Amino acid sequence: MLHAETQETLHKRPAVPRRTGADGHGMAASEAVPADREFDWSSADFDRVQKLIYQRAGISLNDGKHAMVYSRLSRRLRETGYRSFREYLSWLESHDGDEWQEFINALTTNLTSFFREGHHFEILHEHLQSKSKGQRWNIWCSAASTGEEPYSIVMTAMEALGSTGAFHLTASDIDSKVLATASRGVYKLENMKGVAPEKLRRFFFRGKGANSGMVRVKPELQAAVDFLQVNLIEDGWPFREPFDIVFCRNVMIYFDAPTQRGVLERIHRNMKPGGMLFVGHSENFNDSRDLFTLRGKTVYERR
């Protein structure tokens, strides 16, 4: 799940009814907006947001996130025409539709880069070379964000397995906007510092003219990845075959302990025995030793 906020969206804006009240602004004259804020914002509004994002995405917002939530959801109020959080949240609670996805997109945080936590890709390279060359690897990146992590996995796999290596990567995220960016595979050259020059030459096209300063992943990388939307806290993940390798990095930190356990159990069910699970540098799952055994720095083996 992890947010460059410069991406464009490939889908249409949701059809959310615009609201106006007796004063033409969706609120009574007595509900004046404070001078220092565009919209009314109360602890009750924040509590409602906490409950809704937990129910829909399993994300536990701590009480110190008031400013972040106000800033991000204010954009949704401007887009939909609502003049108070109370009315916007009431509309969400009584309807299903595309705006729920926009709500989730606004509150998910996507911080990522190419070859982030580099030791994982060294371990991945070695692990891919440790098995017989005839094996077909099934890999899942469960927090694809804007694509840097899944493309880093693909580059590592191609270098480790060679031209005859067989693997496939499924890359998912709950955020539809970052998946659109990931599938395009276009990035600023200045954000490619984690990519070695030889990898940049082999796996990316450099933009020219109006596209100078940009790079685009080559078709061979894009062809090795299927991008799809998956909510980790929901049952019924759309996978047909178990995975040999799963990357689930810096996602669990947004979940409380019961939600973490539920997600780990689902991952366990969708992995082959002995499969490798890569997690974030601040994540520790020693309480789930019945599911996974620690095999290295933030690397676990499926029991």
Question: How far lies 162's CA from each of 97, 105, 150, 157, 243, in Å?
Answer: 45, 37, 18, 8, 20
Does residue 25 surpass a pLDDT of 80? no
- Whether residue 287 is found in the same domain as residue 165: yes
Higher pLDDT, 22 or 179: 179
Which pLDDT value is given to residue 24? 34
Kindly report the CATH number assigned to the domain that includes residue 232. Answer: 3.40.50.150
Q: Are residues 101 and 239 in the same domain?
A: no
Q: What is the pLDDT of residues 206-231, one digit of tens each?
A: 999 999 999 999 999 999 999 999 99
Residues 231-256 pLDDT 10s: 999 999 999 999 999 999 999 999 99
Catalytic (active site) residue 244: no
Q: Given this model, what pLDDT does residue 12 score?
A: 34
At how many degrees (to 10) do helices 66-80 and 98-107 cross? 150
Of 173, 175, 244, 249, the catalytic one is 173
How far, in Å, are 119, 245, 259, 294 from residue 300 at the CA level?
Answer: 14, 10, 19, 4
Place of tokens 């620690």: 294
pLDDT in tens, 80-94: 999 999 999 999 999
Are residues 89 and 130 located together in one domain of the fold? no
Q: Read off the pLDDT of each residue in 55-59 and give the average, rounded to a whole number.
A: 95
Residue 245's H or E segment, with its range, is strand 243-248
Catalytic residue among 45, 48, 56, 72: 72
Annotated catalytic residue 302? no
Which of residues 109, 134, 150 is at a domain's end?
109
With vertex at residue 234, the alpha carbon angle to CA 284 and CA 68, rounded to the nearest 5 degrees, is: 65
275-289 confidence digits (pLDDT tens): 999 999 989 898 899
Joined together, the tokens standing for residue 24 give 């033409």
The structural domain count of the chain equals 2
Instruction: Evaluate whether 293 touches 285 at the Cβ level (below 8 Å).
Output: no
* pTM, 2 dp: 0.81
Question: Nearest CA to 39 among 50, 26, 49, 51?
Answer: 26
